[in-house]
């Protein structure tokens, strides 16, 4: 079973409130954004959450006129025979603050829940600052039942190629409170790095993407976190997202 004190990609939260997301007016200045994604794998900061199998993901976000928002996000998961949970559902609330035309701040709270495995449930707090295409993310996660905390810091950049295509790159470091990452020689460490390079293109009213995802975890270190030794290595992940 994977150690779920790894925070969910905070970039998802930016995705929910970014200008790429369409919105349905619901009155009073409130907008509802809905997105549906089919992906060849659900990689969670470099580690597969579906044993390398495809994932179907649905998100919904309600935004207010002042930038405050609430939402939920659901995906299938598979942690192997040691876990019963087949669904992850996240709840979040935050405030997106456009300080200027080029600079914004996003602060919020995120709750992860897992059916039939409540010991995996956890809460996170995040701050995301964006200057033009450059994004700095910090996220603190606490799993009270497992008595484990983690800090995640990432730097990412989006470069527009054309009006309907772009490249995204990200480098992040996850730091556990304890030496939770164990190598084959039984040496422990608290940090690991993950990165992603993604190409996106808007086509047929959907966003298509191809991502190269990787970590610096060895196969034995990967097994210490996920229970498997082949879920943390480099992989090309394909996805398509439809926004409503």
Per-residue confidence at 68, pLDDT binned at 50, 70, 90? very high
Angle at 22 between CA 20 and CA 27, to 5 degrees: 140
Give 11-243's CATH code, choosing from 2.40.160.40, 3.40.718.10, 3.40.50.150, 3.40.190.10: 2.40.160.40
pLDDT one-digit tens code per residue, 155-196: 999 999 999 999 999 999 999 988 989 999 999 999 999 999
CA dihedral (175, 180, 183, 187) positive or negative: positive
Predicted pLDDT of residue 244: 87
Distance CA 77, CA 82 (A): 13
CB half-sphere exposure, 215, CA atoms < 13 A = 24
């Amino acid at each position: 079973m994977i150690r779920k004190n790894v925070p969910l990609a905070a970039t998802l939260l930016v995705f929910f409130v970014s200008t790429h997301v369409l919105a349905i007016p619901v009155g009073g200045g409130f907008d509802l954004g809905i997105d549906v994604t089919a992906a060849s794998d659900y990689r969670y900061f470099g580690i597969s959450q579906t044993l390398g199998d495809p994932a179907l993901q649905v998100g919904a976000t309600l935004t207010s006129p002042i930038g405050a928002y609430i939402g939920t996000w659901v995906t299938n998961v598979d942690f192997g025979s040691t876990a019963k949970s087949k669904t992850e559902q996240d709840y979040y609330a935050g405030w997106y603050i456009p300080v200027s035309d080029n600079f914004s701040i996003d602060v919020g709270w995120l709750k992860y829940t897992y059916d039939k495995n409540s010991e995996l449930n956890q809460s996170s707090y995040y701050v995301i600052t964006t200057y033009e295409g450059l994004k700095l993310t910090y996220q603190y996660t606490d799993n009270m039942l497992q008595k484990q905390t983690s800090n995640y810091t990432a730097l990412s950049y989006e470069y527009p190629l054309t009006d309907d295509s772009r490249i995204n790159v990200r480098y992040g470091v996850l730091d556990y409170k304890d030496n939770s990452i164990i190598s084959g020689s039984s040496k422990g460490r608290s940090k690991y790095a993950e990165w992603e390079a993604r190409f996106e293109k808007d086509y047929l009213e959907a966003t298509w993407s191809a991502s190269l995802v990787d970590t610096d975890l060895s196969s034995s270190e990967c097994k210490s976190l996920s229970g498997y030794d082949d879920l943390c290595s480099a992989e090309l992940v394909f996805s398509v997202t439809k926004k409503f």
